[in-house]
Structure 1
Amino acid sequence: MPKFAGIIPPLCTPFHDDFTVDTVSFRRHVESQLDAGVHGVFVLGSSSEVAFQTDTQRRVTIETAVAQAAGRVPVLVGCIDMTTLRVAEHIKTAEALGADGIVVTAPYYTRTHPAEIERHFRLLRETTSLPIFAYDIPVAVHSKLDGGMLLRLAEEGVIEGLKDSSGDEAGFRLVLQGKRERGLDRFAVFTGSELLVDTALALGADGAVPGLANVDPVGYVLIYDHFRSGNAHAARREQERLLKLFAITEVAPPGRMGRGSAGLGAFKAAMKMRGFVDNAVMAPPQIALDDDELLRIKEKLAEAGLL
């Protein structure tokens, strides 16, 4: 069995009005996730607004999550930056602060060749003994991780896991097939989709890293538990309920703000409405939801039985 499995939510980072990390709210949010039965937490990913955080904010985010988890579940830390040397510095910080594993994307901003992306992961393997998860998110880094490369790196022990947020379901399935055919039982493969967790588990995924779990962690744990107990119908029913809830990310029109602002703004607003955090502030230059949009989110939470 993989060392990592189950539901590992990518936690949003709550901020004060001055954009410092709200550690009191963050501790409460981590605890609410643990109370829901999640199997780990992932900080400094896309849902954590890692691209907007300063090094100081990143350090506080890691420190707070590790302290609150207190060894009860593993803490994965995103070490995400443009180049290998910058990522290596983040890895040193994550190691020093007690991370249980790190999550790394392909390099970005610079135009990289597949051979350079592979070299990136191999060089980082030399810098740390922590498990490395490859994070496939081409919408953010503009490079799709090659499935053959991922399997090769897993076979050689360079990476121990994958978070697939590529949206390429066929490619994801091929990686799972390759994992099975090569006997890579300890290679932990996770979907980053909120909407296909039951399907991914049926295909052989080890778990999921769903952003919507910031709002409803219990629902995603139920999907995993139902699947593990052999109740595919119950897992599908819970997934379809969460499919409707995910509509909160679409209340803001694309003509008014980016999809990142709309999605993360919805998550944070819903977290505040549920009492998980005190503030729904997002890092600049993201745009805040307006009163009408917040009302629609509240209505959808009520429809889902969460208020």
Structure 2
Amino acid sequence: MSVSGIFPVMITPFTDDDRIDWDGYARLIEWYLDHGAQGLFAVCQSSEMQHLTLEERRELARFTVAQVAGRVPVVASGHVSDGHDAQLEELAAVAGTGVDAVVLVTNRLAAQGDEPGIWRVRLEALLSALPSDTRYGLYECPAPYRRLLSDDELEFCAQDGRFDFLKDVACDLGVVRRRLALTRGTPLAINNANAAIAWPVMQAGGQGFSGVMNNFHPDLYRWLYEHGAAHPALAAELDNFLVLAAMCEPFGYPKLAKVYHVRIGTFAGLHSRTVNYDLAERHWAIEAVLDQIVTGAERFRSRIAELPRPAA
């Protein structure tokens, strides 16, 4: 299985009474697929996984697999607990849903200040207890703290053969280039999560983009990934737009993405368990910012549509 390309980190729509909106979630899945997603990352930080019960995490992963029905790979995490037994329970639950890879969160395997070697000890303990045919991913989730893999840890996972990707949160082009070199020739793909370096990472051989802005315009990232090299001037302009558009992320994401999807009719509810305030009250003129992002995205879609098609 190739876990590469444009992998949205999925958000979770809720009803006003704090239940998962399953009809809205089904429409969201179809929106991702209709807008260029080459895979889906369910039950992640964007999904508000730290605020979901184990049953909700399991059901989100199961529902995503069923709705996608093999059209693209589905990976899922929900790896939020501290202790080994609780982590094993949640990872086994997600593994049983039929996802293509179970995603381990790097900061769950070592607390801040732990000896470096403890990370690998805890990783191997989990791997030995989970089904032997399980495929894995790694996620340097920034909450509750960003725990980047060392070169030795990354090489170990790449050579192990069961790891298909790293959702890279280094946010440093030099680090990503080194990681690409370390994993070359292994099953482990480097899927960058930072919009500011998305295009340079793609140019360096990175295997896709898995950032939060895939909740707004994943099709533009896919065009950049697949066709940017053939249209360098337009790619540079698009990259500039995408980087600036991504500056909206601190303005109440993931609720911000819900505002966008309510606007376009994907689902109806703005409720978020992570962001419990009114966005417009705290982030002034945020609707105007979204207006500009939507208008800019449509302009680039129009320009892309006008490009001459390659000869058959």
TM-score range, shorter chain: 0.7 to 0.9
Secondary structure at 1:196 match in 2: helix
**What are the within-5 Å matches in structure 2 for residues 206-285 of structure 1?**
206-227=207-228, 230-250=230-250, 252=251, 262-284=252-274
Residue 117 of structure 2 corresponds to which residue in structure 1? Answer: 115
Distance 1:10 1:143 in 2: 19
1:259 aligns to what?
none
- Count residues in correspondence: 292
1:300 aligns to what? 292
Q: 2:137 and 2:66 mapped to 1: Cα distance? A: 22
The residue type paired with residue 220 of structure 1 is Y
Distance 1:87 1:248 in 2: 33
CA separation of 1:286 and 1:179: change in aligned 2, threshold 3 A: same
Paired with 2:84 and 2:205, the residues of 1 have a C-alpha distance of 31
Alignment correspondent of 1:42: 41
Q: Deviations over 1:91-129 (max 9, x none)?
A: 221222211111111244844332111122222322132
User: Does 1:170 pair with 2:174?
Assistant: yes
> Relative to structure 1, is the Cα distance of residues 135 and 224 closer, same or farther in structure 2, using a 3 angstrom cutoff?
same
- Aligned partner of 2:163 in structure 1 is 159
Contact conserved, 1:125 with 1:158, CA < 8 A, in 2?
Answer: no
**Residue identity opposite 2:72 in structure 1:** V
2: CA distance between counterparts of 1:244 and 1:153? 34
Tell me by how many angstroms 1:4 deviates.
1.6
TM-score scaled by structure 1? 0.86
Compute the displacement of 1:302 (Å). 4.1
Shift of 1:201: 1.1
Report sequence identity in percent. 22
Structure 1 residues 60-99: aligned runs within 5 Å: 60-81=59-80, 82-99=82-99
CA contact (8 A) 1:121 1:158 kept: no
Identify the residue that residue 125 of structure 1 maps to in structure 2.
127
Distance 1:235 1:125 in 2: 41
Separation of aligned partners in 2, 1:91 and 1:55: 10
Deviations 1:182-240 (A, max 9, x none): x32x221110112322111111211111211111121111111214x643443333222
Q: Deviations over 1:246-265 (max 9, x none)?
A: 23335x4xxxxxxxxx1212
Alignment of 1:49-64 (within 5 A): 49-64=48-63
CA RMSD for the aligned pairs? Answer: 2.3
CA contact (8 A) 1:270 1:301 kept: no
In structure 1, C-alpha distance between the alignment counterparts of 2:289 and 2:263, rounded to whole Å:
9
What SS does the aligned partner of 2:195 have?
coil
Q: Return closer, same or farther for 1:277/1:242 CA change in 2, 3 Å cut-off.
A: farther
- SS in structure 1 of the partner of residue 268 of structure 2: coil
Separation in structure 1 between the aligned mates of residue 219 and residue 274 of structure 2, nearest angstrom: 30
Q: Deviations over 1:132-159 (max 9, x none)?
A: 1111234533432212211122112252
